[in-house]
Structure 1
């Protein structure tokens, strides 16, 4: 009972009363105080180059060997290069928001820390829990892909052996136990636990090989390129589109961009390593932007030469590069590309497994997850227990599940994190400065909010202007979901150009622009940072809309699985995290002094709770 009173800051004399909404809201919205200091248990060993290559390795994985051919054949045709361009622009918008937050809060934990600092604890836990899901499934998918690749090279003998010796029922789980993936996950987790610098060096080697293979493909493809492959007729396409540069029309280009966007997921792992960077305020922004540019140039170059070497309708959707070199008879380069695919998968696996224990470490250090997971190894200076646990869970997922049914869940967590980071940028840019704010200012009322919205008289942020921006962001999110839902549900009607739908979308779009315009009229903070997002609030606003639109395109089954994962997280938070959070409000202080309580022989309430907390911390 005393712990409940402590969390909600309730007077002990009111024990029988249920916590008020204000007290509950205060407990859920408490924010993390981040001090700008170099005090960290993690080793600060990562340079700007290390962070850039970490982002490239995590993003430029197996997708570069599969995605271009699949999207070209089934969705966009040669216009896949435009799809990659649109996806890259959308990713850079999110990347700019991450870059500013990395300069503001150079701590391990990525979007989790960002939302904890400016939104509140409950939403921060939700974001952190989403990121754990993203990297768990991403790591398991990479491990599974590695196994399937090696199994394919061995003529499927490994999978046949597992089917005979370790069969399972199938259905929602795999038809056999993939012990290979489990063992590989454990080996990688042990390697990561040995140190950030050592694992970063391995990732750098894999990434350099991966980039070299990409350059080899682009260079060799130039000699076999034929521009006429971009102007094939509908008869030559044999039913796959209408031929030409964009055989599936504008609809195909946009759908292709939605698919290609997932090929850029992974750069946010740079922000999770901020606490281990030598100069995070400089390294994180440069690393994010440079890694996205490198990945875009690789995708753009690969898709260009691929569709020029072979018509889009003859592409292979599973191994397009190997297929192309088979067709033109370059067997040696085919095997060289296979080596590059292995290196790409290994770097993707490292890029996915590296940030996962850092997020677990950050949440456990804050008391929202079990404190044992926050232990740092005294020799290797890495989150040892969190790394081993992450590797074990990743291996189990890859061992027993067919991950093709779960991969879209990774996108939900990522897109929600992108949206929350963009919203955080807006909140912080228009947050009041405590040095300039006067306590005697006009109170925040409906009248004062309407007055400031219309007139915009203030020259610096206040509580009123900050409240206006916060409410406008909430309304903006709601209308983004409404507009995105209409565009997704009535997609065919939209492409047919039906007047009622276009009119509705134009009105909603105009209202969204109006909301951003009102936000732009409010005074902004003059805090100096090493990097800031340009054109605020327009860039974060566009980023939020794109992310929400992509989220509404995810199917219902995936959303249902996500709800199950979210319920597990909420149970952990309300059963453990809210009780052990480091950011709990100070306990209620009795009106009687300590001396008076001492004369009565009673222990002060605050002292009793402090002693109890010390006992709890010692046991943990």
Structure 2
């Protein structure tokens, strides 16, 4: 009984069913619409805040290297998403990709975490949007809230943020009216944001000075910085790498989250006119545009003013103020508002699609999958998702919850990379002849010198086992590296050398196996190396998260498993399909037995 339950937890959606063109949603999005959604969702508050804090505290001028490293890690994840977007053009993103590849339980885990990611992400951006408006009014909104509407309970917000609540509900209403209308809003906000970024790059470079990338320690000491006696400690040693290459890598880990958001494109599979072409193309274009924007802003900032003079909270207005362009605060405020609006729409847009996909499959309550026949949108899921995010931003202090977004994102990226490996080596069909040939060969031959012309059940299982082993070894390696200060050098060298050696052997075994010949419009390059590198990057970033974040994550997952165990496991559409097949099989066996007896 226990073994049967285990197999039921790993039941899968079949790709053939998933590729069906039938959908209740409206197919109206083009590649340009998807690029606008991807860029708008990704290029949000990060460009106006992240660049300053990373350059000031971690990387200095080498922030451009940090963004390059982060972009490479993000593009690896993006290429994996792009392949699945062309293979499985359905609503649900990483959730549906996991469902067709590794089974129902993992799909639920990913879907449940994506809901958390989008709820907290939306609430956080709405709070930033409200604070941006508050800054333009001279802090009067906060002053009013603290004075007349204080909450005063630990863990809750300082005061109810009705401005953030209102903007979430307004954009939720826009999403309810139709996906095309939402895409129009996104294109407008994104275009304005890109124009402001272009203005910053052009105007900033008029006042750039390459000497700001070549500052010496004496230059730092002779500057007008407060706390001159500790400047060597606070601001590094000058030069292009003032905090060393380790500071650049630390900055890259932070910059990685500046690229989070492109996965919104993968949730639109059932609303795109030509998903097999548009989804992979728009993912690649979006990440490229975002990288160029971050590279341009970060290089411009560090060339305009010394990295140690950058303001962490508002680097762009401060930098333009230092060169005497105080009027620039107005276009920058406009760009920040549009960027936050676009990012907020990008957080709200995918959330109901994930809820819709899970409800449609029966893993959460089915009424959430209802589609409005007039607007062709999941109105119930959209409204309740927006309301949940609005209540979060109204009542809760989000600072302690923001890191939980990272777990959902990184888990999704990891699963998608693993799924690409598994599906690429999935057998097209199984023949008894191939199984017989493999069974008469040694393990060394099967691992390193396979003679089958295409993937078999045996080679597919071998790859699956190698992928699981690589995942475990990567976790050991990354957890060790992430805790350098707590381990001895001998232990570190031993673990790193042993795990990397074993990973290399497993990678070689996977690389020797035959890949599926099934055609799709886009395939991720350098398989199996790219998905494995992507997996290791994501696991390392997860290991960098605090223990408190993992505890909160565990509580969220416990709530999810209660819902899945009490409702989803028994109401799953995949379960009903399997039960129907078993019933037909039993009837066929009984009929055969009756014919024999007669």
TM-score (norm 1): 0.89
Q: Distance in 1 between matches of 2:188 and 2:295?
A: 23
Tell me how far 1:466 sits from its aligned partner: 0.6
Q: Name the count of aligned residue pairs.
A: 573
Equivalent in the alignment of 1:5: none
CA contact (8 A) 2:77 2:531 kept: yes
CA contact (8 A) 1:480 1:545 kept: yes
1:489 to 464, 470, 483: 483
Q: Does 2:405 match 1:410?
A: yes
Question: What whole-Å deviation, never above 9, does each CA across 1:393-444 have from its counterpart, x for those lacking one?
Answer: 000111112211111111111001001000000101111112x533883499
Alignment of 1:73-472 (within 5 A): 73-237=56-220, 238-239=231-232, 240-434=235-429, 437-438=431-432, 441-442=435-436, 452-472=446-466
Q: Does 2:17 match 1:32?
A: no
The CA RMSD over aligned residues, in Å, is 2.1
Equivalent position SS for 2:109: helix
Q: Does 2:506 match 1:515?
A: yes
Q: Distance in 2 between matches of 1:28 and 1:114?
A: 16
Q: Distance in 2 between matches of 1:160 and 1:96?
A: 46
Q: Distance in 1 between matches of 2:541 and 2:165?
A: 32
Equivalent position SS for 2:281: helix
Q: Using a 3 Å threshold, how does the CA distance of structure 1 residues 77 and 170 change in structure 2: closer, same or farther? A: farther
Question: What whole-Å deviation, never above 9, does each CA across 1:529-581 have from its counterpart, x for those lacking one?
Answer: 10001111000010000000010000111111111111111011011111111
Equivalent position SS for 1:403: coil
Q: Using a 3 Å threshold, how does the CA distance of structure 1 residues 427 and 134 change in structure 2: closer, same or farther? A: same
Q: Distance in 2 between matches of 1:398 and 1:139?
A: 9
Q: Does 2:538 match 1:547?
A: yes
Tell me how far 1:172 sits from its aligned partner: 1.2
**Is there any run of 5+ residues in structure 2 with no aligned partner, and where?**
221-230, 592-598
Equivalent in the alignment of 2:3: 22
Question: What whole-Å deviation, never above 9, does each CA across 1:500-548 have from its counterpart, x for those lacking one?
Answer: 5235313322221221111001111111110001111000010000000
Q: Using a 3 Å threshold, how does the CA distance of structure 1 residues 426 and 440 change in structure 2: closer, same or farther? A: closer
Tell me how far 1:166 sits from its aligned partner: 2.2
Q: Does 2:496 match 1:505?
A: yes
Tell me how far 1:589 sits from its aligned partner: 4.2
Equivalent in the alignment of 1:586: 579
Q: Distance in 2 between matches of 1:291 and 1:349?
A: 17
Moved more, 581-590 or 555-564: 581-590
Question: What whole-Å deviation, never above 9, does each CA across 1:435-481 have from its counterpart, x for those lacking one?
Answer: x5338834999997665225423221111101100010010000000
Question: What whole-Å deviation, never above 9, does each CA across 1:88-122 have from its counterpart, x for those lacking one?
Answer: 00000000000000000000000000000111011
CA contact (8 A) 1:444 1:463 kept: no
CA contact (8 A) 2:41 2:264 kept: yes
Tell me how far 1:56 sits from its aligned partner: 0.2
Q: Distance in 2 between matches of 1:421 and 1:592?
A: 36
TM-score (norm 2): 0.92
Q: Using a 3 Å threshold, how does the CA distance of structure 1 residues 492 and 565 change in structure 2: closer, same or farther? A: closer
Tell me how far 1:136 sits from its aligned partner: 0.8
Equivalent in the alignment of 2:223: none
CA contact (8 A) 1:449 1:468 kept: no
CA contact (8 A) 1:29 1:119 kept: yes
Question: What whole-Å deviation, never above 9, does each CA across 1:572-598 have from its counterpart, x for those lacking one?
Answer: 10111111111112166499979x99x
